[in-house]
Amino acid sequence: MQRWWQALGVSIQPPDEPIELRTGLLGIVTDIHGNPYALERILSHGAQLGVDRWLVLGDVVAMGPEPGRVLEQLAELDVVAVISGNTERYVLTGDRPDPSFDEVVADPGLLPRLVEVAASFAWTKGFLQACGSLDVLGSYLASVRLLFPDGTDVLAVHASLLKDDGPGITPSIDAEKMETLFPGVSADIVFGGHTHQATDLAINGIRFVNPGSASNHLEPHVPARYATVRLGDHDHHVELHDVQYDKGLAIESIQRSGIPGSDFLVGRYFAQVNE
């Protein structure tokens, strides 16, 4: 299996040998962002449906208040694989999202944001180091191939085959862009997250599925989202699920956690909840 750091700077190609899955109901969750309240409701909902294994598509801990608790929740599950997202890379390597240093030089007004972003990922790293869980992130995969019981070939990534950030699977993506993001892919189904936009569409005979994000939604009133797929049936019965949870608990946790940028997180992803 390919580790995330082996793919830095090159295409995130999946390993040659797929993970073979037995029949059952597979849950797929992504972009949890250190929010155990959203994940708890997703896991509870999945259990009611009969989910017996989980596939996690990355962005598990950063940009959220309780990264350690989320890792504890996942450790209790039968997890097929965990994909590393861009925020796992930021925590482990010191890479950072925008604004870049060059952008700050061009616009010094961006400096407070640069400092806050760096502090936020450093906080998550320190938190996980303190509780002895940081090494867990290094075990995550850049991508993975799965083989369903009926022979269906599946590729799972965080954003695309090119890299773990940037464009990914969205409802509005077209065939030309998809070919750019997934060059030469021959899978029957591709699962990806990152964009936080729930998607299920077919392009050139390939089914592209994004479960939508568990947390940190682009629109604050969007519920926690995940997907399920029935293994053993050729049509797979892929379903996208919306799960309501108490976002006020997440807001309270962010505000008391001490995570840098807490006002930004609440304002950007939860602002309308209390209106």
Q: Could you please report the per-residue DSSP string of 93-157?
A: H----SSPHHHHHH-GGGHHHHHHHHHHHHHHHHHHHHTT-HHHHHT-BS-EEEE-TT--EEEE-
User: What is the residue range of 190's domain?
Assistant: 4-274
CA angle 57, 255, 114 (to 5 degrees): 65
The Cα–Cα gap between 82 and 120 comes to 22
Domain count of the chain?
Answer: 1
Crossing angle (nearest 10°) for helices 67-75 and 36-49: 20
Q: For residue 272, is pLDDT > 60?
A: no
pTM tops 0.85, yes or no: yes
pLDDT, one tens digit per residue, over 93-132 is 988 888 777 887 898 888 888 888 899 999 999 999 999 9
Beta strands in 130-223 (DSSP E): 144-147, 153-156, 189-191, 199-203, 206-210
Looking at residue 263, which CATH number applies to its domain?
3.60.21.10
Q: How confident is the model at residue 6 (pLDDT cuts 50, 70, 90)?
A: very low
Beta bridge partners of 130: none
The Cα–Cα gap between 29 and 43 comes to 9
pLDDT, one tens digit per residue, over 41-53 is 999 999 999 999 9
Output the pLDDT for position 4: 39
Q: How confident is the model at residue 3 (pLDDT cuts 50, 70, 90)?
A: very low
